[in-house]
Structure formats: C-alpha cells, structure tokens
Chain A
C-alpha cells in the first residue's frame, strides 16, 4: 500500500516534469522541426550542389615561351569546360546511393561552370607590368604565366632535397628543379572560377609535356584511370556490398545521437531541480513526498523526454539510412544493445545532474560543479576517431570498461566492429554500466536530500562528502 502510493507520487512528479519540459510549444517545435529540417537538408543538398555556378566570361591571357599551351586550353574548355572531376569527388559520387544520384543529374553538374572565354597569348614577359594594369582595369579574367621549364618533364623526386646542379638535362628533356605556374587574378574573382582555371591550365601543361615527349596523352589518361572498386563483405548469410565510407559514419552518428540526447535530457534534470529550489517550491513538495521519491520522479520524467527525443531523432536517422539503402548496417541486435547502453548513459548523466542541481541555488553556481563532469563527458568525442578506426584495440576495450565512458564507447564499437564483439565484453560492460548507475543513484540520493534544502553559496566538494555522511 505504502509502496504503491510512493510509486504513484513518483509517477505524478515524472508526469509533471515531462509535461512541462516536453509538452511545450518550444520543445515540440525543436524536436519536430530539427529532424524535419535535417531530412529536407539531406534531400536538398545534392540539388543545391548541382546548381551551376555563375558563368565565367572574358579574356584569359596566357604569357608563355616558345611552346604554347593555348590551343589545348581552348580544346579542354570547348569539351565542357569544368574539366574532369577531381578523383576524390568522383569516388564519393560513385558511392552515393542511386536515389541521391538521380537528384544531382549525372553528378558532374557539381563542378559544371558555364564559360565563354576568349584566349589571348603573349610571349612578351617583359610587358607583364602592363598586363597587370590591364588586369586591374578589368580587361582580363586572369593572366597565366607559363615558363618553358614548366612544360618539360619534372625530375624524379630524390632523397636529397638540396639540388646543386640547376642545369637542365637536355637529353632527356628534364629539368632539375620544378618551377611553378603563376596565375594572376582580379581581386573579385570567385574561388570556384579560379579552381576551374587552375584545373584547365594544369591539365594543358601536363598534356603538353606528354605530347612534347611523344606520348599519346589520351592513352596515358586511360592508363592511369583507376578502376572502381566493389567491396563485398562475405557474411555468414552470404554476400553483401559494403559502402565503406558511409559505413564509417554510422557508428559516429549513433554515438553522437546517444550522447546528445542523454546530455540534453540530463541537463533538464539539472535545470528543473534548480528551478524548484530557486522558486522555493521545493519544501512544499517535500511536505508531500520524500526527497528520494522526488529525485526518482524527476529522473524518470526526463527519461520520458529523452525517449521522445530518441524516437524522433533516431527514427529520422533510421528512415534516412533505409532511404539510402543502408538499412542493412543496422541490425536489431545493434539497436537493442544501443538502447540498453543509452539507458545507462542517460541514468549516469541524469543522476549526476540531479546531484548538482540539488546542491546549488542558481544555474550559474552549477557551472563550477559542471566543469569536471563536462570534461569527462567530452572524452568520448575525443576518443571516437581512434576507437572507430580500430574498435577492437586495447584503448577501445579499456575505455569501454570505464563507467562514464562505457555507454558511449560500446555502441560506437558495436557499430564499427566488422565482427561481432565477444559476448563477455558486452555482458561485462553492461554490468559495469548498471553497477555504476546504482552507485551514482545511491550517492545522489544522499546528496539530494540534504542539498535541496540548502540555500545560498554552492558547496565545496568536501561539503558534498560531508552531506553524504549525514544521517
């Protein structure tokens, strides 16, 4: 009878906290609109990327020696201007799921810059100062200075950086030191225009070198073209394709989701506790419920808030992954275990926040006590790169057994590890997590019952220890 009434009181407190945190216009707007905006952004981004940038028109002056690259520049510009896509970008595009690709056209639109460029050449390097003035006056869109040495085959890299012999080796058409191309541009040039010009000019230089040495450049290009790779992961059930890069994002996404939601909702425990202290409603509440019931009610109330956020944000991520045909990355086991770790993460943070909230009278006093907590909570964000790269390393195993880190590191490892983690690691980490939550709850309930009645100056760590010993 007494227990059921205690439970009822706790539920009432939990419901009030949930209602006044989550069922408010501001919160609902945030929790509903953020994922929707995220989804819209995800869909719109490729479309935005595919929008052609502003047209580049005008005269390009190429100041060069006896060998001219101008005809090649003209040809490449005529072929479609923007040049070939940088290899990394091409790869990223290749890995994009079909659905997204269709939104971007053939994907090449991303770097397609419409051009209407007239090319002038000059061999009078001595007139460069005049040309510069003309550039400033807007007569040119750019001036490229191409020295003859640029068009010779550069020397092979040597171990010895210091080159003593500066003379060209005429026999092999090689120079001992590579020179650079100078590109002069007006002050208002757009970065993507410069990048495009660079690309076109460099390609022309390379092709000219090949022609001068008597090679078929088209053949060379085909020769060095790397074939696409299809990675097939051989699982027990059969074969599945593996989108490596996207796969690497998922564990981090998962950990960030758990981290953000646990921290946000844990923070609500802090602020609502401080609010009840500062508006002096605390003792009124304590005339009806015990401090432990109050603490538990508040923690469970915000747990419901956390669950709501998790469903909204996590749901969007799952829908997104399925839409991108990446649903197979998520297994039921991963989702269930992540939920278990999330419960541990939430209770770890929420109990600590309840202790801090009870101990201080104002939000700004909480900062001092929050600092060490935040430092510990930042650890997973620092450690995620090495752990994601090698989820079975000693670092990964050790950090997943240290209580405040366990619930963040374990989901990351579970999602990142190509092979399932050993069962003992999962069980041990869950036990450590639950054990630490029980311990923290005990400590917090000791601090909470004293702290909620204290007003004024925030306690020192020594005072907190003394509170725990009060009977």
Chain B
C-alpha cells in the first residue's frame, strides 16, 4: 500500500514551547484518517508542516512522495485559520480559488455551480461572502478546498462552527469523497465526529503521537468487554452479587437504577461472545430486558491512553 503522507521524526519548537516532539506516522493512500487530540496538542502545526506552510526544525515530511509545494494543485487544504474575501461574490470567490489551483475558467464556473448545489447552497453564487452566515461561509470554504478534485484532502477542524445538520452533511460528503478514492486526513478535537466516519485514527497529545491505528484494530485493542444491561426492575441486587459471579470483574449501576455496566474478564474467545452461563446467572438476579456489548468510544480510548478526557486535557492546557 502506498503512502499519501509520511512524517518522520519531525519536531517543531515555538520559543520555549515544543509544539511537536519527534513524531512519526504514515497515512496510506485511500484512507480516511482522523487526526485527533485536544486543542493545543500540535494538530494544526503538524498539518501546516505537511502543507509546507511552515517548516519543521528537524525531521522529514513527504506529501504525495515529495514536498507539498510541488503538488499544491493536487492537494486540497482547508486551514484552521480560514476566511473569505468579504466583498467578493461567492461564485467569484470559488472560481478565483479554483483557478489558482489550476482549473480553467470555464470548468471552474461549472464546478462552483455543481458544488454549491451538492453542499445545499443553491442560489448563493451571486451573494457577497459577507452576506452569508458563518456556517454557510464554512461550507463555501470547504467547496473551495475540494472543487479542483484533489487526490489528497487535508482538513483542519472541518466541523467546527457547523450545526449538527450541516456537520452531518459535511461528514457524508467527506465519506463520499473517500469512497471515490481520495485520501483524506482531517483533524478534530471532537472525537465522536471522527468515530462516525474515519477508518483510521491518529491521536496526538502534548506534541507527541499517542495512537496510530485503524478503527477495527483499535476496537480489538481497546475492548474493555463491557456489557450494558437493562432491567425492568432495580439492578441493586445485581451489583451486590458481583463477587459471586465467575468471569465478572465489576458491576456499576447507572443513576436510573435500571441500567448496569458489567465489566468482564478477558476470555480469549476470538468471537467476543458473552458467556451463556453468565447470561443465565444474571437473569436469575434481575429481569433482563436488553443486553449489549458496549463498544469503546474514542473518548474512552483517549482516557485509557492519556489518563484523562480530551476536555480535561484542554482545560489543563489553557
């Protein structure tokens, strides 16, 4: 599998602050990779270095096999610091940016029109950018990033400032673009957004990579084997009996008193099945209405790796 982005032993320092500390990773061609971590972890710095907008103090970076400068027209980049020319009309702005990326005048007009339609922005081409809401501007910026049909798309916090409806729309389009064969890497500090669409995850904290894995690999590694149980009665009797049931480490009751989380011991079963004798024993203690294997969220993974949640890390940082 060829790599779209390769980062080797890269460090970047701003004054006393070591923004990126000797990181290495590779993003395979065709993947949809989430670049995750709290604010201030070094995501934007790394992305800017990938784009050759700033340069690392040490280490090497390859984008599409060379410097991003040599293939700017084949890369779509949505910076975190993004804006529009306020006085320019939306259509004009999109044509201008796409022409800067090598699209000829006639195609750029057609592309702008098509993409505005696809991003649910019909009829805004004649509007001035300053007349658009922040969310609409954001979608216009996204169009400007991808309308020249780049092979590699790098999005820095693409969801920030979007309402849930538009965030969903954007997530869908990102997914479609990936299905069409484009390599996409996007950063976010809201982990559940990444969870829904990416097939690969890079986690960064305090300038260092703490995780680099596929989503499926991740689920294997970070499977705490927690079962979520719902009962029609109180689960109190169940929590008291935790020690007497073999194969159970811990039972935690939720506040509603009808739900409990049961943490199981590892069994070595490759199918990850819930042991039948356990189901029988539990059913004796409380009337079970639902039983499901709880998947680890990326937030859980982050906590497991760093020892605190993303929001705690951000608070600590500020």
Contacts and interface: CB of A to CB of B under 8 A. Distances in A.
Contacts of B86: 279
Interface residues of B, number: 29
B249 interface: no
Nearest to A272: B85
A288 B83 contact: no
Given A288-B72, A289-B72, A453-B54, A280 B82 contact: yes
A289 B75 CA distance: 12
Interface residues of A, number: 23
B81 A287 contact: no
Nearest to B87: A20
A290 B72 CA distance: 9
Most B-side CB within 10 Å, residue of A12, A280, A281, A285: A281
Interface in B12-50: 48
B99 interface: yes
Interface in A242-280: 276, 279-280
Contacts of A281: 82-85
A288 B97 contact: yes
A20 B77 contact: no
A283 B154 CA distance: 13
B251 interface: no
A289 B48 CA distance: 14
B77 A287 contact: yes
Contacts of A12: 96, 99-100
B55 interface: yes
A386 B141 CA distance: 56
Interface string A220-231: 000000000000
B230 to A, nearest CB: 48
A455 interface: yes
A170 B97 CA distance: 96
A5 B48 CA distance: 23
Contacts of B48: 453
A284 interface: yes
A281 B97 CA distance: 10
Nearest to B156: A283
Contact of A284 (B75, B87, B97, B102): B97
Nearest to A10: B100
Contact of B100 (A280, A289, A455): A289
Contact of B84 (A279, A283, A470): A279
Nearest to B102: A5
Interface in B65-105: 69, 72-73, 75-77, 79, 81-88, 96-97, 99-102
Interface string A446-471: 00000001010000000000000011
B83 A279 contact: yes
A471 B55 CA distance: 8
B101 A288 contact: yes
A5 B74 CA distance: 13
B144 interface: yes
A288 B79 contact: no
A285 B77 CA distance: 10
Contacts of A286: 51, 53
A9 interface: yes
A132 interface: no
A20 B54 contact: no
B81 A283 contact: yes
B47 to A, nearest CB: 10
A453 B51 CA distance: 13
B166 to A, nearest CB: 19
Contacts of A415: none
B55 A287 contact: no
Contacts of A284: 79, 82-84, 97, 141, 144
Nearest to A280: B83
Interface string A5-40: 100010011001000100000000000000000000
Contacts of B97: 284-285, 288
Nearest to B96: A16
Interface of A: 5, 9, 12-13, 16, 20, 276, 279-290, 453, 455, 470-471
Interface of B: 48, 51, 53-55, 69, 72-73, 75-77, 79, 81-88, 96-97, 99-102, 141, 144-145
14 contacts: A12-B96, A279-B84, A279-B85, A280-B81, A280-B82, A283-B53, A284-B79, A284-B82, A285-B100, A286-B53, A287-B75, A287-B76, A288-B72, A470-B55
